[in-house]
Amino acid sequence: MAELSVLDEINRLLDADGDATVNTSMRLPAALRDAAALAVQHLGVAGSTTSLTATALRRALDTAVTEAALEGHFGQHPHVRPSLAEVALALAAQDGSPLADRPELVERAAAQVVASHPEADADDVLLWAEAQLAVPA
């Protein structure tokens, strides 16, 4: 199955009627199972550990499909991939950070962070930009 067909099939299955269930034999680390049970019982995160597990799996699959579709799109159109600075600015705007109004600072921070940490992400850039603002000139 071609990757696009796989993504379409996963989306179709995720959109399908969720009433039918199947029994599975899933091995989980005991500590993870116990943590889930406590979260259900005391934090009310879901109606049951099964529901919590299914919701988490659905979210993980949704994320995987979205990321795969984006990577496929960027593979065909590399010029539209946002830069790290652009992603950091979008994150700052989403978070309501004042850094959203400082694109020059974020762009400079992105260049500086990537120079020493090539795998840095947008959070790293924003943290570095914030640190620069905290240091008196």
Query: How much is the pLDDT for 115?
Result: 97
Q: How far is CA 68 from CA 10, 71, 77, 85, 126, in A?
A: 12, 5, 14, 22, 25
Torsion sign across C-alpha atoms 66, 33, 25, 15? negative
Query: How much is the pLDDT for 126?
Result: 98
Query: How much is the pLDDT for 20?
Result: 84
Residues (pLDDT < 50) of the chain are: none
Query: How much is the pLDDT for 132?
Result: 92
> Which residue pairs, CB below 8 angstroms and at least 24 apart, start in 70-73?
72/3, 72/4, 72/7
* Amino acid (1-letter code) at residue 127: L
Query: How much is the pLDDT for 4?
Result: 86
Query: How much is the pLDDT for 2?
Result: 65
